[in-house]
């Protein structure tokens, strides 16, 4: 591909000396599992999100799973999950034995006596609803709020960052994320010391009193050291993604005004994990851009659940455009020009 959707090598080359120095330091010291680099990363993340605690894990999926485990969610419980989300959000509910109850894009849901958790999912850097309303409603109904913030590091709503609203926030540092490791990595954030301590035990196979089995979900020190280096550049990454998104919005607005496409909301303080364009000609545009050497991604989040009509339509119309901070302005304008060419503009 001439313009790749994501190219981690370019980002690495920009900070190669710093990354290589840290990797060599960790390897020479032999501090590979649950050592100071992990502790430093947890402090960095908690401070950035605005929570008292963070626990480093192996992935965003494990973060969601262990959040449910720590809350003792299981058989007989119902968990409210958005129908349009990455499959992991629902997968973990199934893994703990609870029942998945889907919410369509309108966010409407019904609560039963079995409902214990609501899991708002922040997709592509956009909050999955009004978090003040969600948390206040959850408190009134005695529901647990677990935020799937895996695609929303740095997003802010009403002065609070994603991952600080709920009982637990869950993050992924998969390589393509805004803050990406060079492998799998994840974390939870919380203000609850007991939950943080439980998850620290559960990430390491079991609780110390043997009351509950966990899994092996330790973030290794190499990934923590890499993420600590990249943390220094997080605001730069966020700013560049916002710049790219602004270019798309400004230069494709007339196509939206003509009813050819729908652009994402430019809400204040969102983070641009992805730039998602909607069009009824999604598949045709995808193939056209592919032939032009531009890599995009179709949304493939929806699992086959009937009656989620809004999500089904959204899924069929959405296309993710390249938005990573290593793209040049020239490359972004080439993407824009090719989209305009497709629509004869």
Domain borders along the chain are: 8-231, 234-342
CB neighbour list of residue 37: distance below 8 Å, 6 or more residues apart: 26, 31, 221, 224, 225, 228
Is the torsion defined by CA of 321, 293, 239, 184 positive or negative?
Answer: positive
pLDDT in tens, the chain (345 residues): 699 999 999 999 999 999 999 999 999 999 899 999 999 999 999 999 999 999 999 999 999 999 999 999 999 999 999 887 888 898 999 999 999 998 866 667 788 999 999 999 999 999 988 999 999 999 999 999 999 999 999 999 999 999 999 999 999 999 999 999 999 999 999 999 999 999 999 999 987 888 888 899 999 999 999 999 999 999 999 999 999 999 999 999 999 999 999 999 888 889 999 999 999 999 999 999 999 999 999 876 555 555 555 666 777 789 999 999 999 999 999 999 999 999 997
Which residue, 285, 289, 277, 288, is CA-closest to 318?
277
* Residue in the block written with tokens 């969601």: 64
CB neighbour list of residue 297: distance below 8 Å, 6 or more residues apart: 5, 319, 320
Same fold: 8-231 with 234-342: no
CB neighbour list of residue 118: distance below 8 Å, 6 or more residues apart: 79, 80, 109, 134, 138, 143, 144, 145, 146
- State residue 316's pLDDT score: 79
Alpha-carbon radius of gyration of the chain: 20
Taking the C-alpha atoms of residue 274 and residue 279, their distance in angstroms, rounded to an integer, is: 16
Counting beta carbons within 10 angstroms of the beta carbon of residue 280, is it exposed (0 to 12), middle (13 to 18) or buried (19 or more)?
Answer: middle
Strand partners, 123: 126
Which residue, 77, 115, 96, 100, is CA-closest to 212?
96
- State residue 301's pLDDT score: 57
Could you give the residue ranges of the DSSP H alpha helices within 60-169? 60-70, 87-95, 131-141
Would you tell me how many other CB atoms lie within 10 Å of the CB of residue 52?
14
- State residue 96's pLDDT score: 96
| CATH classification (class only), 8-231 | alpha beta
Taking the C-alpha atoms of residue 101 and residue 109, their distance in angstroms, rounded to an integer, is: 9
Could you give the residue ranges of the DSSP H alpha helices within 117-233? 131-141, 193-202, 221-231
Q: Are strands 99-103 and 213-216 parallel, antiparallel or unpaired?
A: unpaired
| CATH classification (class only), 234-342 | alpha beta
Counting beta carbons within 10 angstroms of the beta carbon of residue 251, is it exposed (0 to 12), middle (13 to 18) or buried (19 or more)?
Answer: middle
Counting beta carbons within 10 angstroms of the beta carbon of residue 304, is it exposed (0 to 12), middle (13 to 18) or buried (19 or more)?
Answer: exposed
């Amino acid at each position: 591909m001439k313009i790749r959707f994501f190219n981690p090598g370019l980002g690495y080359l920009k900070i190669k000396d710093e990354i290589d120095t840290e990797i060599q330091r960790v390897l020479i010291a032999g501090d590979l599992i649950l050592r100071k680099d992990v502790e430093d990363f947890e402090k960095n993340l908690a401070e950035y999100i605005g929570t008292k605690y963070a626990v480093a894990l192996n992935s965003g999926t494990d973060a969601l799973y262990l959040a449910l485990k720590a809350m003792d969610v299981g058989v007989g419980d119902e968990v409210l999950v958005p129908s349009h989300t990455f499959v992991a959000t629902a997968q973990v509910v199934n893994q703990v034995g609870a029942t998945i109850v889907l919410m369509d894009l309108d966010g409407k849901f019904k609560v039963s006596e079995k409902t214990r958790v609501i899991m708002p999912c922040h997709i592509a850097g956009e909050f999955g609803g009004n978090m003040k309303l969600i948390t206040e409603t959850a408190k009134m109904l005695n529901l647990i709020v677990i935020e799937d913030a895996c695609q929303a590091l740095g997003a802010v709503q009403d002065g609070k960052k994603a991952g600080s609203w709920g009982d637990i926030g869950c993050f992924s540092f998969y390589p393509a994320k805004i803050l990406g490791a060079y492998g799998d990595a994840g974390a939870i954030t919380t203000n609850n010391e007991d939950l943080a301590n439980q998850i620290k035990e559960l990430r390491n196979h079991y609780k110390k009193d043997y009351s509950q089995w966990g899994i092996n979900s330790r973030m290794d020190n190499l990934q923590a050291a890499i993420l600590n280096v990249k943390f220094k550049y997080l605001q730069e990454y966020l700013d560049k993604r916002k710049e790219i998104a602004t270019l798309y919005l400004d230069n494709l607005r007339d196509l939206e005004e003509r009813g050819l496409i729908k652009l994402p909301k430019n809400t204040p303080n969102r983070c641009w994990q992805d730039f998602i364009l909607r069009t009824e000609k999604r598949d045709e545009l995808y193939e056209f851009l592919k032939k032009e050497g531009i890599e995009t991604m179709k949304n493939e989040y929806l699992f086959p659940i009937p009656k989620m009509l809004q999500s089904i339509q959204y899924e069929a119309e959405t296309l993710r455009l390249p938005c990573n901070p290593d793209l040049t302005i020239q490359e972004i304008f080439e993407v824009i020009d090719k989209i305009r060419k497709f629509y004869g503009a």
